[in-house]
A and B are shown apart, each in its own frame.
Chain A
Amino acid sequence: MYHGYNEGVMPQTGALYCKGLVKKYADVTAVDGLDLQVERGECFGLLGPNGAGKTTTIEILEGLLAPDAGEVAVLGCRWSDDGAALRPRLGIQLQETQLADKLTVAETLRLFRSFYPAGPSVDELLETMELTAKRNAWVSKLSGGQKQRLSVACALVGQPELLFLDEPTTGLDPQSRRQLWEVLERFRQAGGTILMTTHYMDEAHALCDRVGIMDRGKLIALGTPRELVATLGAEHMIEFAIDAGRGPGDAELRALPGARDVRVTNGSFAIATSELHLTVPALLDALGRHHATLSQLSTHSATLEDVFVTLTGRQLRDE
């Protein structure tokens, strides 16, 4: 099952390492030959649409699922050899966990704290997660944001070296998200390593040193958010749609000054450009020549979302 990788090759220093990871369910290949390496102190984001295999990947790394093939090392240890010793060094937050409704916040934290040999006190955690006012409230009475903070608090309770977060801010209001980001930022400043999944591009931009974009079980891009956006060769995106009728052709759009890439999805056009101030007037001229009427026109700075669309031809969140 180790696919010819001998132990000597396995890096002992990295926080996470996996090679040739495969996981199949019945007729679906959820993870299809994934290679990944995360350094200590790094915040790494796995991005991708729903069903891309992010959760399966993170659960294999967490030792909750066994891969069908491939090699995994977490903090230099293998699950099969050192699983029991590894657990106390990790903090894990799962996507769908509902904590016990009728325990209070403090009781829940004390329970989780009791499983770990070391870690911050319950009071400290409450303070860090801004839950002190809710310490005696039942979990069922918490808001979505408070529940999520408690869930992350339970992951931090053992003073982990490596934190796994699966969609930690999904469904949260903007303020709750920012609160959580601050906590994660502090964790990282203290030297912690984070592996997180998200489908929020702004979250990846704000938190992650590097991101890997996953699609259909494979890693299709890897780098810092800045590097990935730079692969577009353009800092701006122009999106427009025209009323039925003749518009400029693909080749004509590509020939516009500054245009780097052109993409047509569902009748709307996207042009990646490095020189917005040249491309837009030229585009309007071209449309005029064809007597085409604009029904929509917008521009924005290129994001990871555009990287995904460019790589796959699909939107990230077409769920």
Chain B
Amino acid sequence: MRKDVVFVLVILVAVAFGIYIFAQTPAVDVGKVRAYADPITEKILLAMN
């Protein structure tokens, strides 16, 4: 298989998998900022508001 085909397929699968992982991560909405809910980020964002 051609190199560019392998390269682009790897990127596309990575994008698909990456967004899936991102979408599955529980999220908190703090004002207009959407942060992904690790406790530290959440605390920082809550403090900022």
Q: Do A and B bind each other?
A: no
